[in-house]
């Protein structure tokens, strides 16, 4: 964990938070459901904010709430 923090020392807080979440999903939990939800959210975020596809916004919200529930249940176990 300390090497991860050293590598991200100069980044903005929001970028550090993104990388920490990604690191936890792929390396710490390794739960396939969480990884798939994370990938779906990342792809939909790009579509909504970069490609301006407004129709994907509700899918993004639905996936975000599902991801949050999965994360919460993982932390509570």
Each residue's pLDDT tens digit, 24-51: 777 766 778 778 888 888 888 888 777 7
Can you tell me the mean pLDDT for 1-26?
78
Q: What pTM was estimated for this model as a whole? A: 0.57
**Stronger pLDDT, 73 or 50, i.e. the higher one:** 50
- At 6 the pLDDT is 76
Cα distances (angstroms) measured from residue 7 to each of 2, 16, 20, 45: 9, 10, 11, 25
Domain span including residue 61 = 2-76
Which tokens belong to 51? 């490609």
| DSSP code of residue 55 | G
71 within 8 A of 38, measured Cβ to Cβ: no
Calculate the average pLDDT of the chain. 77
What is the number of structural domains in the chain? 1
Could you tell me the pLDDT band of residue 11, with boundaries at 50, 70 and 90? confident
Handedness of CA 75, 29, 34, 5 (dihedral sign): positive
């Amino acid at each position: 964990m300390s090497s991860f923090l050293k590598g991200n020392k100069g980044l903005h807080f929001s970028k550090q938070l993104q990388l920490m979440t990604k690191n936890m999903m792929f390396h710490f939990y390794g739960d396939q459901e969480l990884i798939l939800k994370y990938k779906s959210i990342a792809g939909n975020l790009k579509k909504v904010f970069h490609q301006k596809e407004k129709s994907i916004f509700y899918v993004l919200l639905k996936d975000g709430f599902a991801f949050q529930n999965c994360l919460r249940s993982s932390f509570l176990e």
